[in-house]
Structure 1
Amino acid sequence: MKFVTSLVLCLFVLGCSSQSTHHQHYAAASVQPHIDYLKSFPSQYVQPRNVEVWLPRQYFLNPQASFPVLYMHDGQNLFNQKSSNFGVAWEVDDIAQQLMDKGEIAPAIIVGIWSTPKRRMEYFPERAAQYFSTQDAELIAQLKQHLGEGKTTDYLADEYLNFIVKELKPYIDSHYRSEPDRDNTLIAGSSMGGLISIYALAEYPEVFGSAAGVSTHWPLFFNNDRMGPAEKLRDYLRTALPMAGQHRVYFDFGTATLDQYYEIHQRQVDTIMVDKGFTRGRDWVTKKFPGAEHNEQAWQARVPDILKFLLPIK
């Protein structure tokens, strides 16, 4: 009788334990990620723009925990196809949440910084222009005119980074449970957004621990007919990019549409990475995606690769 009573008690306890675990799992699944919309975030450096702050499910399930922060450019294209410039979003929020729930990446806050009509000059590595020859500068002036921005358009990348580092990041760190240190402050973008991400790492190596250049627009133009400015951009990287040891860098490129011009540049940047002491597969990767085009669909497909590199489980 004592044995039967113990068995019944054991089954009862196990049953309760199983039911409790199921309830906790259900409760966890019912907690949804959330986006805070910061409309027209003000700045003394650049024109106001929208900022979206995505908080994963884990942010609410672990109210005592703090989280890395990934800053991403062209924020209107990240989460919602309705706000995306081309009707397709990266779906970073959905993909990130799935990877976090599976334990494949570390939970993190993702900040989407919308771009403005001044995007190209805000994302153009400003100090690289100091390396331009007179001919290079004339080519860039022609490019500005072609884009309808006018020859007198100023470079704005330094101001844009001031906005992120001196205004937006302090706001995020004071209003959300972030890990504000370098190792937990990440930055990423595509095309010109890739350029400004690498520029951010070079200009603020004490702030950003990792950067991702997705289909980085190394040519600066729309083909490889004029290579001078791109070569001077690499001269800047040879000087300004930090030596390996405290940073991690992700690069990738496709082979179709605009991406078809990138490989010749990326291979030379890879040489710079080696010279700086980075080790492929450890603190740096460059990935080639044959057939991939220069668009949101292609970048959406690569989001898992990008996030797994930037947010590894430690």
Structure 2
Amino acid sequence: MKKHLGSLFVLILLSMPALWAQNPLPVPQRGKIERIANFSSAYVSARHVDIWLPPNYSDTAKHAVLYMHDGQMLFDASLTWNQQSWEVDEVASALLENKQVRPFIVVGIWNGGNTRHSDYFPQKPFDALSAAEKDTVSAQLRASGRGNGPFLPKSDNYLKFLVEELKPYIDTHYSVYTDKDNTFIAGSSMGGLISLYAFCEYPEVFGGAACLSTHWVGTFQLANNPVPAAFLKYLEQHVPSPPQQRLYFDYGDQTLDALYPAIQQQADSVLRAKGYGEAQWRSLYFPGEDHSERAWSRRLATPLLFLLGE
């Protein structure tokens, strides 16, 4: 039964890009969305990019930019596979109307479907594993339906796509600030991992990151898993020095989030030792919350206030 479900999951993932190409533009409750359809890249597969502009967006004023992963899950639950979304437009609009955050736009980058895991899995920590440890990771991912052969992360190319191709496009086509103090990145689960990786690899580009329900395990089990230790070691060696940056984490304790609390607490210890304090860093625990867009939507205002608060 488990093998059948894994094969079905892979089949669904492989069919997603074709299905997404047929999806209409998300309809936000507030503001408007413009799409760059099948954004072409030298580094990753082509994918949609949905740009949310707040209700009062104007070319005469500059805006901060929040880049978010899994862009197809952000705005319109009627178009998502699980009928859930982050409701980014509603949460952001309420904060903007109350003048709690600086003006900003959201760049929602669609994931690549069957390439999502390799795009989002931090590459340098994986490269630091021994050959036997890499084999273990590949086997664990195969068992969960993520691929058939050796696992090869491609997140360095994904970040090049963001920094060298997408960001220059946004900077020249929209009325935005281009400096790191107004450029942020956010995501959940694997999207939380790649947000942290971007924060560490490109501190001159991203002034802050929000990592919700960060998928510290990389695979889908804790036992015999070398990934968390590799991620923590990478964090210790590469996290930018405070106080220039802002870093947000949160996690629940239900469904997949049940795997995260102990590892997140170790990550918190690393950040404390690096001198991160309340002004630069948050790590919040939400008891009873699960691993879902509804859960992330309920607490999205918190990282937005931390990163973009006036």
TM-score bracket relative to the smaller structure: 0.7 to 0.9
Structure ID, larger Rg: 1
Deviation of the 1:293 alpha carbon: 0.3
- Letter paired with 1:35: I
Task: Tell me which residue corresponds to 1:229.
Answer: 227
Of 66, 70, 82 in structure 1, the residue corresponding to residue 66 of structure 2 is 70
Task: Tell me which residue corresponds to 1:268.
Answer: 266
CA distance in 1, matches of 2:154, 2:80: 23
How many residues of Structure 1 are paired with residues of Structure 2 in the alignment?
279
Deviation of the 1:54 alpha carbon: 0.6
Task: Tell me which residue corresponds to 2:126.
Answer: 129
Task: Tell me which residue corresponds to 2:198.
Answer: 200
Task: Tell me which residue corresponds to 2:94.
Answer: 98
1:113 aligns with 2:109: yes
Percent of matched pairs sharing the same residue: 41
CA RMSD of aligned residues (A): 1.3
Deviation of the 1:300 alpha carbon: 0.8
1:241 aligns with 2:239: yes
Deviation of the 1:98 alpha carbon: 1.2
1:296 aligns with 2:256: no
- Letter paired with 1:162: K
Task: Tell me which residue corresponds to 1:7.
Answer: none
Contact 2:210 2:247 in 1 (8 A): yes
Q: Larger deviation: 93-102 or 139-148?
A: 139-148
SS in 1 for 2:48: strand
SS in 2 for 1:58: coil
Task: Tell me which residue corresponds to 1:212.
Answer: 210
Contact 1:223 1:258 in 2 (8 A): no
What 5-or-longer segments of structure 2 have no aligned partner?
Answer: 1-29
Q: What is the 5 A alignment of 1:1-314? A: 33-60=31-58, 63-116=59-112, 117-146=114-143, 147-279=145-277, 281-313=278-310
Deviation of the 1:246 alpha carbon: 1.1
CA distance in 1, matches of 2:103, 2:80: 24
Q: Larger deviation: 297-306 or 183-192?
A: 297-306
CA distance in 2, matches of 1:186, 1:103: 19
SS in 1 for 2:79: coil
Deviation of the 1:57 alpha carbon: 1.8
CA distance in 1, matches of 2:41, 2:202: 19
CA distance in 2, matches of 1:128, 1:171: 29
Q: Larger deviation: 101-110 or 144-153?
A: 144-153
Deviation of the 1:153 alpha carbon: 4.3
Contact 1:255 1:292 in 2 (8 A): yes
Deviation of the 1:148 alpha carbon: 4.1
TM-score by length of 1: 0.86
Deviation of the 1:242 alpha carbon: 1.1
CA distance in 2, matches of 1:148, 1:55: 34
Deviation of the 1:103 alpha carbon: 1.1
TM-score by length of 2: 0.87
What 5-or-longer segments of structure 1 have no aligned partner?
Answer: 1-31
Contact 1:131 1:235 in 2 (8 A): no
Task: Tell me which residue corresponds to 1:22.
Answer: none
Q: Larger deviation: 241-250 or 82-91?
A: 82-91
SS in 1 for 2:108: strand
